[in-house]
């Protein structure tokens, strides 16, 4: 059986737009009749997602699968690195925690991990019409060439034509593209079939001389100049995106502490979409009054709790809660709101006991087994921020390694195996609560009800109607931009030429 064609998108650096371009191409090529699978061999990200069978993969690949109209699966991101500190990361292999590895030791496992990558890619090429491969960082990071499992090693294994992307919004795009090509060995340079300039603002005619120079010097075509797409609502995988994220404007001020190891911050994308919500990520106490504080997920709960204390945010959050400001914790943020966190086996840190913020009567114990599942749940309280929502059904997903007990539950969770458990905790006022459910704000009725409750506290009339929140509209938006600015005939030729070669 012939292998499906592949097309690989690599970048001159991290955050040049590879993930968004692959998502857009997934939708564009799916619209043209291809059954497309995204693939990223190795992904370092704290934004992750749960597949239908409970595997954990990078959020970007889940987004790309959704753009392609297929279910996400572990083979689409066989290796996920979740940093726990500057020098170590949890390694998730085919959706399951494998081990925690220090950066200096990671190369020792490259043979085994490489075999996982190759098998995963072969599975996808056997079951889909086309595999769109995303690289990681830059292929020109010469210090990482020996342990590379995401860029040119994958391109060589798959004999993939590569499109190299540079971000002109950062500046220096011609130097980045030219320099990256020059640093590649000749065998790898030959795989690069075209160049893409991404995030351009202005008249593309201004680039004409630069493009001509680049094409002469590199012998590669610039196959597209992709404009900057403002207000894009596709989940980011890298917290570097928060550095350039401007606060939104609106009547309600929502503050999210920006933990050093913040995870699944895409939880807040639906809140950012609401026109009356001014959402801001902070690393110190804000000087203005706020309407809601939401503690996000964390890959290193104890370390990020220490950050709250160092930054003054811990005392500020306690003071705000005492003054009646609502506080919500999600996953690691929920754990922080409790009385204590116990880690007897050193799962996350070398501290067997850590005091929490004490806003909820909850005790958390870390365990080595990791919970990863999609769930359906019902609201089981009727007060405070959740007044009038008793029995409301919501959906979400869990990714955590701790168990928390104590206090009145917020949700009753129905799992796919038929079991039913309680989740979360809420205080007597109903203004402070926590939950393990990621994706909570993607439930429009709950999201709008909580925001309208905040408006009521400010003496503002309700909005009631949730903002439109449809990621599929964003995929279509990117696909249409790519349809108009990329040389689609050239891309199709790269893809279909592989079918011809396979028949020879």
Burial of 341 (0-12, 13-18, 19+ CB in 10 A): buried
The predicted-structure confidence for 266-310, as pLDDT tens digits, reads as follows 899 999 989 999 999 999 999 989 999 999 999 899 999 999 999
Any catalytic annotation for residue 26?
Answer: no
Which pLDDT score, from 0 to 100, does residue 144 have?
83
Confidence of residue 36 (pLDDT cuts 50, 70, 90): very high
Helix (H) or strand (E) holding 375, with range, is strand 363-379
Instruction: Please answer whether residues 3 and 127 qualify as being in contact, where contact means their C-beta atoms are separated by less than 8 angstroms.
Output: no
Has residue 249 got a pLDDT over 90? no
On average, the pLDDT of the chain sits at 92
Has residue 263 got a pLDDT over 80? yes
Any catalytic annotation for residue 472?
Answer: no
In 3D, which of 126, 162, 122, 100 has the Cα closest to residue 41?
122
Which pLDDT score, from 0 to 100, does residue 504 have?
44
Q: How far apart are CA 466 and CA 270, in angstroms?
A: 10
User: What share of the chain in percent tops pLDDT 70?
Assistant: 96
Has residue 348 got a pLDDT over 90? no
Q: How far apart are CA 37 and CA 129, in angstroms?
A: 8
Which pLDDT score, from 0 to 100, does residue 1 have?
61
CA angle 445, 448, 449 (to 5 degrees): 80
Instruction: Please answer whether residues 28 and 483 qualify as being in contact, where contact means their C-beta atoms are separated by less than 8 angstroms.
Output: yes
Q: Pairing state of beta strands 411-414 and 363-379?
A: antiparallel
In 3D, which of 298, 334, 311 has the Cα closest to residue 432?
334
Of 171-175, 388-392, 466-470, the least confident: 466-470
Which pLDDT score, from 0 to 100, does residue 344 have?
87
Instruction: Please answer whether residues 101 and 88 qualify as being in contact, where contact means their C-beta atoms are separated by less than 8 angstroms.
Output: yes
Has residue 452 got a pLDDT over 80? yes
Total-model pTM: 0.88
Q: Which of 26, 400, 438, 485 is catalytic?
A: 438
Which pLDDT score, from 0 to 100, does residue 503 have?
46
Q: How many CB atoms neighbour CB 276 within 10 A? A: 18
Find the helix packing angle between 313-322 and 301-311, rounded to 10°. 80
User: Mean of the pLDDT values across residues 69-94?
Assistant: 93
The predicted-structure confidence for 114-157, as pLDDT tens digits, reads as follows 999 999 999 999 999 999 999 999 999 988 888 889 999 999 99
* DSSP states along 108-129: GGHHHHHHHHHHHHHHHHHHSS
DSSP-derived 3-state class of residue 376: strand
Which pLDDT score, from 0 to 100, does residue 500 have?
65
On the CB side of 58, how many CA atoms lie within 13 Å of its CA?
28
Q: How far apart are CA 181 and CA 486, in angstroms?
A: 21
Q: How far apart are CA 98 and CA 76, in angstroms?
A: 17
Which pLDDT score, from 0 to 100, does residue 324 have?
96
Q: Pairing state of beta strands 393-405 and 340-342?
A: unpaired
User: Mean of the pLDDT values across residues 251-264?
Assistant: 94
In 3D, which of 243, 271, 222, 221 has the Cα closest to residue 446?
271
Which pLDDT score, from 0 to 100, does residue 369 have?
85
Has residue 203 got a pLDDT over 80? yes
Find the helix packing angle between 18-31 and 59-68, rounded to 10°. 20
In 3D, which of 100, 112, 113, 101 has the Cα closest to residue 42?
113
Which pLDDT score, from 0 to 100, does residue 122 have?
97
In 3D, which of 22, 16, 236, 41 has the Cα closest to residue 137?
16
- Where are the alpha helices (H) located in 252-292, listed in sequence order? 269-273
Q: How far apart are CA 468 and CA 109, in angstroms?
A: 45
Domains of the chain, CATH where assigned = 6-233+473-498 (3.40.50.300), 240-457 (3.40.50.880)
* DSSP states along 292-330: EEEE-EESSHHHHHHHHHHHTHHHHHHHHHHTT--EEEE
User: Mean of the pLDDT values across residues 449-471?
Assistant: 90
b/e code 360-381 from CB counts within 10 Å (16+ = b): bebbbbbeeebbbbbbebebbb
Which pLDDT score, from 0 to 100, does residue 492 have?
97
Helix (H) or strand (E) holding 278, with range, is strand 277-282
Phi, psi of 371 (to 5 degrees): -90, 120
Q: Which of 26, 331, 400, 485 is catalytic?
A: 331
Burial of 316 (0-12, 13-18, 19+ CB in 10 A): buried
Has residue 502 got a pLDDT over 80? no
């Amino acid at each position: 059986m012939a292998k499906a064609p592949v097309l690989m998108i690599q970048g001159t650096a991290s955050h040049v737009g590879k993930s968004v371009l692959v998502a857009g191409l997934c939708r564009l090529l799916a619209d043209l009749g291809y059954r497309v699978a995204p693939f990223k061999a190795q992904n370092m990200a704290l934004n992750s997602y749960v597949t239908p069978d409970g595997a954990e993969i990078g959020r970007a690949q889940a987004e790309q699968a959704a753009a392609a109209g297929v279910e996400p699966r572990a083979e689409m991101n066989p290796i996920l690195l979740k940093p726990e500190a500057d020098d170590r990361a949890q390694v998730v292999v085919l959706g399951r925690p494998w081990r925690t590895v220090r950066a200096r030791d990671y190369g020792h496992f490259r043979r085994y991990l490489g075999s996982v990558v190759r098998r995963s890619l072969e599975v996808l090429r056997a079951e889909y019409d086309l595999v769109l491969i995303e690289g990681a960082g830059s292929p020109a990071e010469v210090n990482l060439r020996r342990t590379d499992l995401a860029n040119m090693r994958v391109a060589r294994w798959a004999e993939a034509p590569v499109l190299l992307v540079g971000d002109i919004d950062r500046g220096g795009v011609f130097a980045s593209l030219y320099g990256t090509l020059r640093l590649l060995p000749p065998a790898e340079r030959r795989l690069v079939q075209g160049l893409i300039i991404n995030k351009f603002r202005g008249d593309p005619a201004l680039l004409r001389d630069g493009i001509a120079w680049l094409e002469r010097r590199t012998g590669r075509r610039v196959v597209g100049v992709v404009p900057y797409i403002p207000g894009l609502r596709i989940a980011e995988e890298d917290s570097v995106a928060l550095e350039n994220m401007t606060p939104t404007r609106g009547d309600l001020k929502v503050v999210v502490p920006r933990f050093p190891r913040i995870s699944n911050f895409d939880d807040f994308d639906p809140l950012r979409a609401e026109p009356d919500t001014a959402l801001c990520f902070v690393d110190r106490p804000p000087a203005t009054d706020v309407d809601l504080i939401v503690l996000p997920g964390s890959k290193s709960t104890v370390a990020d709790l220490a950050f709250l204390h160092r930054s003054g945010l811990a005392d500020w959050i306690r003071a705000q809660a005492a003054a009646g400001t609502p506080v919500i914790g999600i996953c690691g943020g929920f754990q922080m709101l409790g009385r204590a966190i116990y880690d007897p086996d050193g799962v996350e840190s070398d501290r067997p006991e850590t005091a929490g913020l004490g806003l909820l009567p909850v005790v958390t114990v870390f365990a080595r087994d990791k919970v990863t599942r999609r769930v359906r749940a019902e609201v089981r309280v009727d007060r405070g921020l959740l007044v009038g929502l008793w029995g409301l059904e919501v959906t979400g997903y869990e990714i955590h390694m701790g168990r928390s007990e104590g206090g009145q539950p917020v949700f009753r969770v129905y799992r796919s195996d038929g079991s039913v458990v309680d989740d979360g905790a809420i205080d007597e006022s109903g203004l402070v609560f926590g939950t393990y459910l990621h994706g909570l704000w993607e439930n429009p009725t709950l999201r709008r009800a909580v925001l309208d409750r905040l408006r009521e506290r400010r003496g503002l009339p309700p909005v009631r109607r949730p903002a439109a929140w449809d990621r599929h509209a964003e995929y279509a938006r990117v696909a249409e931009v790519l349809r108009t600015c990329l040389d689609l005939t050239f891309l199709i030729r790269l893809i279909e030429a592989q079918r011809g070669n396979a028949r020879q």
